[in-house]
Amino acid sequence: MIGIGRSNQFTVGSFIIAFVFLCLGIFGVLWWTYSMGAQIAGGFRTLATAEIRTLELSSTLSCLIAPVWVFERMRRAQKSLWMLSWTACWQTAVVLLLYAGAIVVRRQSWQPSKGFDDWVMFFGRFNAEFFAEAGPLSFVLMVIPLVSVISAILVYMQEMIASRATRDD
């Protein structure tokens, strides 16, 4: 992905820009799905807390999705642009589903005697807020599909930019 030449630099740049848009897109999806505005208005949480927790989960999910993009970029020559986007979409959904599954299993099997020292509990502060009560259902039914589509669109756009940069060289 990184190399010498204008098109490779453009590809790296488009990846970084797309990653930022992914973070922002996930932030918006989480904010909307979990009704952060209503929670702030109702006094359940402050604006700062809502922004921080949403940004933490958005960043975490973006970092989980980035390897899907890199892997698909490496295999790009074997697929059409639409197939590449579709693959990024379903792989993003699988990664997010595995993440949600790990969180739910850990939350259901956790007991105070187990302590707070594993990786899932490291993320427990913001996972607890998004995966409490009906949170996992909202995550699976709303966040995963929307974020998967955003991921596919951003992969498509990256490839369009990369192909134009290659033609210009």
Containing 93, the helix (H) or strand (E) segment is: helix 81-109
pLDDT, tens digit, for every residue of 7-22?
455 578 888 999 999 9
- In this predicted structure, the answer to whether residue 122 has a pLDDT above a threshold of 60 is no
Angle at 81 between CA 80 and CA 82, to 5 degrees: 95
Residues 6+ apart with CB under 8 A from 159: 76, 81, 84, 85
- 84 vs 75 pLDDT, higher one: 84
- 166 vs 34 pLDDT, higher one: 34
Residues 6+ apart with CB under 8 A from 95: 64, 65, 68
pLDDT, tens digit, for every residue of 34-78?
999 999 999 999 999 999 999 999 999 999 999 999 888 777 666
Indicate the pLDDT class of residue 161, thresholds 50, 70 and 90: confident
- Tell me how far apart the alpha carbons of residues 27 and 29 are, in angstroms, rounded to a whole number: 6
CB atoms within 10 A of CB 44: 12
- Tell me how far apart the alpha carbons of residues 129 and 54 are, in angstroms, rounded to a whole number: 10
pTM confidence score? 0.85
